[in-house]
Structure 1
Amino acid sequence: MDIHNTDNNPPRHAIESDDEDEFNPQNQPDSVPELTVKLIGDVPAQRSLVVATADPGAFWARGTDLGEQTGAIAANGVQVGLVFNPAWTNATVIVSEALSRLPVWAMHPYAQAIIDALKPTSVALLDEYAVPSYISSSASALDAPIRFLSISAFDSNNEAQPFAPPNLVNTTSAAFLSLLSISNTPGTLILLPTPNILKPAPRTIEPSNFTHLTQDVTEWSAAVMDQAQQLLFRAIGEPTYKHWELKGGPPTSPKSTAASRRSEVGEGGMYL
């Protein structure tokens, strides 16, 4: 009689791959690295919160009036989140992972630290989904819609389509929604369509990269960004009169310096 012990490692052929970057349980560290999250600045708590992540966050920040940066969120000493308190909204705004992306092991504790510190009354998240890999019988890569995923009542007024199973969100936004669901805090994720396959999360937290803001950020039309902005603030029960408009005209050439574009994420630049 063969006895199968589930505590043993799987046979080598079951996990071996020609792709050295593919997940391999035999190559994982014995323990998850520690993460220290620090909130810098006097950021008000118990307000609505908007978290705009990665490329969507960086591009959205260029066309909305965030004002002066009022704080920052550091993960293991690296500035990952930029905090703003615009005069035209009661919500706190965090532009997250625009300068440095989080590895998978850091996503949950990062989101947990922000929720614990700010105790938001409701949260709206902005992120992206890859159109080429989205599973749907009706999705069109030529006219892909904004999609949403909500753990609370949310009426998109037909301006966005549901992000339907079996599709998955595997960015930090998923950690936020999971934690908000446990605490019964209203939360809605707005997802912008991108024609690119999303890059895998890095293995470590890398230093802030300002060059990324000048060369690699995906760009969306003004109409799509304005629609996404209206959806974000509708999700936290605060419809806004503000409209999104890309500042500075057409994108600058790759030869432009990072310093010339830093002020476009808010008006106060970035610090830490």
Structure 2
Amino acid sequence: MPRQDIDPLADTQPPRYSYESDDEDELDVINPSSDSSADASSVEVRFLPPAEGENDKEKEGTLIIASGGIGVAWARGASLGEQVGQVNVNKRAIGLIFRPAWARTNGTIIISEAFTRLPVIAMNPYARAVLDRWNPSKVVLLDAYSTATYISPEPIPHHAAPLRYLSTERKVFPNSSPLSFFAPPNLIQSTTAAFLNLLALPSSQKASSGLALLVPSRRAPLPSPKIIPPDEDESTSATLSVLSSIEDSEDWDPALLRQTHHAALEAASIHDRAGEWTDPIADRREKKSAKPYGRRRLTETEEGMYI
């Protein structure tokens, strides 16, 4: 680039072309150009069926929101029953709504981000829309935390990592509880954080309590996507049966999932034997082993066993 001799004692600014670099002319790093994908107004949250069809008794109850891979694994054995609704963000199925029998009449379960993860710009609008829709008195969130990145005074191997919690209330579980506090300086940056943030902020509306149950995971947290890929058919319903087809390389411990299920039901004040969590893989193995094979039949007699 051409240079010009500059008098350091001059009162005027040097000519523009005398600077070493003109990178700021090519790319404004400090003030990047606005992008529609980073505009909060471009986030549209819709409910199927519409809110007008909701019964008043379904509001101000307990809301359980299970997110991501742990949400899918938990849903497979939680006996959620038939799907009754859906939460769409920019025409993408983000939340699947269930009202299982064990949740009684005032409990709602949402399996969130099972198919599509939300970008950061959409987390708060999604969480606010869900809370405004149900106005729950209590919210229980199921999510995961990475044992590989968790900061603790002493290293904790994954197999010994406990189930942790975060609460909007000054609630401390007893020492006999298997739950441990999700201690600072550790952070969660998923949609669960958006829910807890809204629940913790003072509001003129009815106060709601929030509790996040965080299951240990071997995986490091992935960065959030930048945009939500739109779905052309908004009426497309993502059913629970599709969850069984989602491949998850995370080897979740059934005992840990059962412990998470019990902790969620206890936090939601739901105590019902019908709400027991069952391992779907073990159930399939039992059914397969008990399945009859054609016309072959074992007959036991006094002299031996014949087919």
| Shorter-chain TM-score range | 0.7 to 0.9
Partner of 1:32: 39
Partner of 1:178: 197
Structure 1 pair 238–198 and aligned structure 2 pair: CA distance change class (3 A): same
Partner of 1:136: 152
Runs of 5+ consecutive residues of structure 1 not aligned to the other structure: 1-23, 253-272
Once the two structures are TM-superposed, the CA of residue 158 in structure 1 deviates from its matched residue by 1.7
Q: Aligned to 1:108, which of 99, 120, 124? A: 124
Partner of 1:262: none
- Aligned residue type for 2:199: L
Once the two structures are TM-superposed, the CA of residue 214 in structure 1 deviates from its matched residue by 2.9
Aligned residues: 229
**Which moves more between the two structures, 242-251 or 172-181?**
242-251
- Aligned residue type for 1:247: P
- Cα distance in 1 for partners of 2:196, 2:156 equals 27
- Cα distance in 2 for partners of 1:213, 1:25 equals 44
Q: Percent identity?
A: 34
Once the two structures are TM-superposed, the CA of residue 246 in structure 1 deviates from its matched residue by 2.1
Using the size of structure 2 for normalisation, the TM-score is 0.68
Q: Aligned to 1:55, which of 61, 69, 75? A: 69
Structure 1 pair 129–179 and aligned structure 2 pair: CA distance change class (3 A): same
Q: Is the Cα contact below 8 Å between 1:46 and 1:121 reproduced in 2?
A: yes
Q: Per-residue displacement from partner, 1:129-183 (whole Å, max 9, x unpaired)?
A: 0001000013412311110001123536521100000000100000001111124
**Which moves more between the two structures, 156-165 or 240-249?**
240-249
Partner of 1:261: none
Write out aligned runs for 1:8-23 (5 A). Answer: none
Using the size of structure 1 for normalisation, the TM-score is 0.77
Q: Aligned to 1:188, which of 196, 200, 211? A: 211
Q: Is the Cα contact below 8 Å between 2:218 and 2:250 reproduced in 1?
A: no
Partner of 2:235: none
Q: Per-residue displacement from partner, 1:203-260 (whole Å, max 9, x unpaired)?
A: 11136896995323523111100110111122222234332122244899xxxxxxxx
- Cα distance in 2 for partners of 1:247, 1:83 equals 20
- Cα distance in 2 for partners of 1:161, 1:107 equals 26
Structure 1 pair 70–133 and aligned structure 2 pair: CA distance change class (3 A): same
Q: Per-residue displacement from partner, 1:32-61 (whole Å, max 9, x unpaired)?
A: 241111111355222100000010111100
Q: Aligned to 1:200, which of 216, 223, 227? A: 223
Q: Per-residue displacement from partner, 1:98-139 (whole Å, max 9, x unpaired)?
A: 011100000000000000011011000000000010000134
Partner of 1:149: 166
Q: Which has the higher contact order (CA 8 A, sep 6+)?
A: 1
- Cα distance in 1 for partners of 2:30, 2:267 equals 39
- Aligned residue type for 2:185: P
Is the counterpart of residue 161 in structure 1 residue 180 in structure 2? yes
Q: Alignment partner of 2:280: what SS?
A: coil
**Which moves more between the two structures, 24-33 or 114-123?**
24-33
Q: Alignment partner of 1:88: what SS?
A: helix
Question: Considering only aligned residues, what root-mean-square deviation do their CA atoms show, in Å?
Answer: 2.5
Q: Aligned to 2:112, which of 88, 92, 96? A: 96
Is the counterpart of residue 243 in structure 1 residue 276 in structure 2? yes
- Cα distance in 1 for partners of 2:132, 2:221 equals 29
- Cα distance in 2 for partners of 1:66, 1:53 equals 15
Q: Is the Cα contact below 8 Å between 1:59 and 1:218 reproduced in 2?
A: no
Once the two structures are TM-superposed, the CA of residue 198 in structure 1 deviates from its matched residue by 1.2
- Cα distance in 2 for partners of 1:248, 1:162 equals 31
Q: Is the Cα contact below 8 Å between 2:173 and 2:179 reproduced in 1?
A: no
- Cα distance in 2 for partners of 1:243, 1:38 equals 32
- Aligned residue type for 2:180: Q
- Cα distance in 2 for partners of 1:217, 1:235 equals 29
